[in-house]
């Protein structure tokens, strides 16, 4: 646990009592603060009360009179589409609002660091797609290279639940726009921006607000080194804002679309090969085509970003390449579940939007595509140009018929349920085919989250006859 600094003897309100909220209350208490907790749900309040925390109704008048700060869970809106009533009341009372990420950066370094030969480092990863894979891959490379590392944030543990660092430790954090948008302290040593595509627009008041939330990771404190994916206009803009000139190697540009050899430091992937260039010459190259845990151009971008981040810590290219080959990938993200009678079954349940589904569709050939669920604003017509490898689609969920209409004349079958879709794919698939779950939709019509959807798919695949 990371004890929170700066609130000794003061009351600090905690709003939202899920995993991160309870970890925040514990870290506040460990640092000498007095956490007072609230959750809109009785179940959340009961969990906190069972752990001995004070429950205070933050919706009542005058609730913030003796409160030093309000720490809110990232999922609770503070600005768009409308502020939560408790957050609005705190702001009216002049009470600072923060989240666990801000508390982490304000409390991470202690006077004990003066005794370390090598200071601990933090690597933070943000972006629209690939954050989790890039974060996990960085952590895997560090671990394989013998560097002590912890992983947290939007993946794994809550940030305040981490172990206090020792000398040379590296913490790798995945940070969503919800987490970066409100944190009052953001001071990573290395910050990574993967890419930007439309998502969470209602929460951020549009694309500009969404990008602004991501950009805060690079603007509030300023990392010592930035790794920026420059294949989208926003990434190119962010790189230009950071760099003081073409040869400024505090910035590492990353691309999975083109050569970037003319900059001070760049890492890019072309035709399945990763290349590192510094000051106009190639330093290293890795063949990614046989790295089974990182299939497709979107994962090659993730590989480039992770490579750049660990190279900034001095990890050798040969060590990175070996770690790539031992990386198994993350569940629900282009995860190969099995090969049965020559048919590959791939779980990419995390592909919840058009852009991530398009990347999955470009990573494989001879695809039997399972898609559908709760469709998002804008529909799926943007996938029409990425269907060249799809032999047939099997649509499920609330938006099954809408998908069929939008993607006509694609050969398809309305299956409605995952069970029916897996059975139909098992009936139709031939050796050399890939059955790909890449829904291009949210899961909430049939499942509580994309993980449960992917787990159900995996269970059905595991039950298929061999």
Q: Are residues 78 and 117 in the same domain?
A: no
**In this structure, what CATH number is given to the domain that contains residue 311?**
3.40.1190.10
d(CA 212, CA 201): 12
Lowest mean pLDDT, pick from 17-21, 63-67, 308-312: 17-21
pLDDT at 449: 94
Same domain, 131 and 53: no
**Three-state SS at 242:** helix
Does residue 183 fall inside a structural domain?
Answer: yes
Same domain? For 251 and 116 the reply is yes
Confidence check: pLDDT of 74 > 80: yes
Please indicate, yes or no, whether residues 123 and 209 belong to a single structural domain of this protein: yes
Q: What is the mean pLDDT of residues 195-211?
A: 91
Average pLDDT over residues 129-151: 95
Q: What is the DSSP letter of 316?
A: -
pLDDT of the residue at 154: 87
* pLDDT at res. 356: 87
Check the annotation: does 32 bind a ligand: no
5 in a domain, yes or no? Answer: no
Structure tokens at 246: 């073409």
> Would you say 130 is a known binding-site residue?
yes
Question: Average model confidence (pLDDT) for the chain?
Answer: 95
- 350 labelled binding-site residue: no
Rounded Cα–Cα distance for residues 432 and 465 (Å):
17
Distance CA 78, CA 109 (A): 28
Same domain (yes/no): 42, 123: no
pLDDT in tens, 254-286: 999 899 978 899 999 999 999 999 988 999 999
Question: What is the reported pLDDT for 262?
Answer: 81
Let me know if residue 4 belongs to a domain.
no
The answer on 137 and 26 residing in a single domain is no
Dihedral pair phi/psi, residue 406, rounded to 5°: -70, -30
pLDDT of residue 269: 96
- Does residue 27 fall inside a structural domain? yes
Query: pTM of the predicted model, to two decimals?
Result: 0.86
Residue 241: which domain range?
A: 105-326
Sign of CA dihedral 62, 63, 68, 73: negative
The answer to whether residue 187 sits within a structural domain is yes
Which of 306, 326, 346 represents a domain boundary (last residue)?
326
Do 287 and 386 have their domain in common? no
CATH number where 433 lies: 3.90.190.20
Regarding whether 360 and 298 lie in a shared domain, the answer is: no
Within 13 Å of residue 206, how many CA atoms lie on the same side as its CB?
A: 1
pLDDT, residue 20, reads 87
- Domain containing residue 36: CATH number: 3.40.50.720
DSSP secondary structure of 53-84: PEE--TTSTTTTTTEEEEEE-TTS-SSSS---
Among 304, 326, 348, the domain boundary falls at 326
pLDDT at 360 over 90: yes
Same structural domain, 119 and 268:
yes
Q: Which pLDDT score, from 0 to 100, does residue 104 have?
A: 97
Q: What pLDDT is recorded for position 281?
A: 92
- Give the pLDDT band of residue 42 (cuts 50, 70, 90): very high
- Report the residue count for the chain: 466
What φ, ψ does residue 37 adopt, rounded to 5°? Answer: -115, 150
Query: What is the Cα–Cα distance from 86 to 374, expressed in whole angstroms?
Result: 30
In a domain, 2, yes or no: no
pLDDT at 412: 98
Q: According to the annotation, is 329 in a ligand binding site?
A: no
Q: How confident is the model at residue 329 (pLDDT cuts 50, 70, 90)?
A: confident
> At which residue do the structure tokens 């898609």 appear?
371
Q: What is the mean pLDDT of residues 309-336?
A: 94
DSSP string, 175-226: --HHHHHH-S----SEEEE----S-SHHHHTSHHHHHHHHHHHHHSS--SEE
**End position of a domain, from candidates 64, 98, 132:** 98
Say yes or no to pLDDT of 352 above 80. Answer: yes
Number of Cβ within a 10 Å radius of residue 46: 13
Residue 306: C-alpha distances to residues 192, 266, 312, 435 (Å): 8, 12, 10, 28
Specify whether 207 is located in the same domain as 249: yes
Number of separate domains in the chain: 3
| 133 labelled binding-site residue | yes
Binding site annotation covers 392?
no
Tens of pLDDT, residue by residue over 209-236, are 999 999 999 998 889 999 999 999 999 9
- pLDDT given at position 157: 87
Same domain for 353 and 308, yes or no, is: no
- The verdict on residue 375 lying in a domain is yes
- Residue 343 confidence class, pLDDT cut points 50, 70, 90: very high
What pLDDT score was predicted for residue 198? 81
Label residue 155 by pLDDT band (50, 70, 90).
Answer: confident
Flag whether 127 is marked binding: yes
Q: Are residues 123 and 173 in the same domain?
A: yes
Tokens of 393: 């689609």
| pLDDT for 197 | 86
What's the start-to-end Cα distance of the chain, in Å? 46
């Amino acid at each position: 646990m990371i004890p929170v600094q700066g609130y000794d003897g003061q009351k600090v309100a905690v709003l939202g009592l899920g995993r991160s909220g309870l970890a925040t209350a514990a870290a506040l208490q460990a640092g000498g603060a007095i956490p007072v907790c609230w959750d809109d749900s009785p179940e959340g309040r009961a969990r906190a009360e069972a752990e001995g925390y004070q429950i205070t109704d933050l919706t009542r008048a005058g609730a913030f009179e003796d409160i030093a700060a309000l720490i809110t869970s990232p999922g609770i809106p503070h600005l768009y589409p409308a502020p939560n009533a408790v957050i609005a009341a705190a702001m009216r009372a002049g009470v600072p609002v923060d989240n666990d990420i801000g508390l982490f950066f304000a409390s991470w370094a202690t006077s004990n660091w003066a005794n370390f030969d090598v200071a601990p480092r933090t690597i933070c990863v943000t972006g629209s797609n690939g954050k989790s894979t890039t974060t996990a891959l960085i952590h895997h490379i560090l671990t394989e290279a013998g560097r002590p590392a912890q992983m947290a944030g939007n993946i794994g543990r809550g940030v305040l639940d981490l172990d206090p660092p020792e000398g040379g430790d590296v913490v790798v954090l995945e940070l969503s726009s919800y987490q970066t948008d409100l944190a009052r302290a953001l001071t990573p040593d290395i910050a990574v921006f993967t890419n930007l595509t439309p998502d969470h627009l209602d929460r951020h008041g549009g694309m500009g607000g969404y990008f602004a939330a991501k950009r805060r990771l690079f603007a509030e404190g300023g990392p010592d080194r930035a790794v920026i994916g420059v294949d989208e206009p926003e990434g190119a803009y962010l790189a230009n804002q950071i760099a003081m000139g073409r040869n400024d190697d505090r910035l590492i540009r990353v691309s999975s679309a083109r050569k970037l050899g003319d900059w001070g430091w760049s890492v890019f992937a072309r035709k399945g090969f990763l290349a590192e260039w510094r000051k106009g010459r190639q330093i290293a190259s890795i063949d990614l085509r046989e790295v089974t845990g990182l299939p497709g151009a979107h994962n090659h971008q993730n590989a480039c970003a992770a490579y750049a981040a660990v190279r900034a810590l001095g990890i050798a290219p040969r060590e990175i390449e070996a770690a790539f080959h031992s990386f198994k990938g993350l569940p629900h993200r282009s995860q190969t579940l099995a090969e049965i009678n020559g048919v590959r079954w791939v779980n990419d349940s995390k592909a919840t939007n058009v852009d991530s589904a398009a990347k999955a569709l470009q990573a494989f050939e001879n695809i039997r595509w399972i898609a559908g669920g709760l469709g998002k604003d804008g529909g799926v017509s943007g996938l029409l140009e990425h269907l060249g490898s799809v032999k047939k689609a099997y649509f499920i969920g609330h938006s099954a018929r809408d998908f069929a209409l939008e993607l006509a004349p694609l050969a398809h079958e309305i299956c409605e349920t995952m069970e029916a879709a897996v059975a139909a794919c098992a009936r139709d698939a031939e050796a050399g085919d890939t059955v790909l779950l890449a829904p291009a939709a949210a899961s909430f019509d049939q499942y509580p989250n994309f993980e449960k959807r992917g787990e159900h798919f995996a269970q059905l695949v595991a039950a298929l006859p061999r």
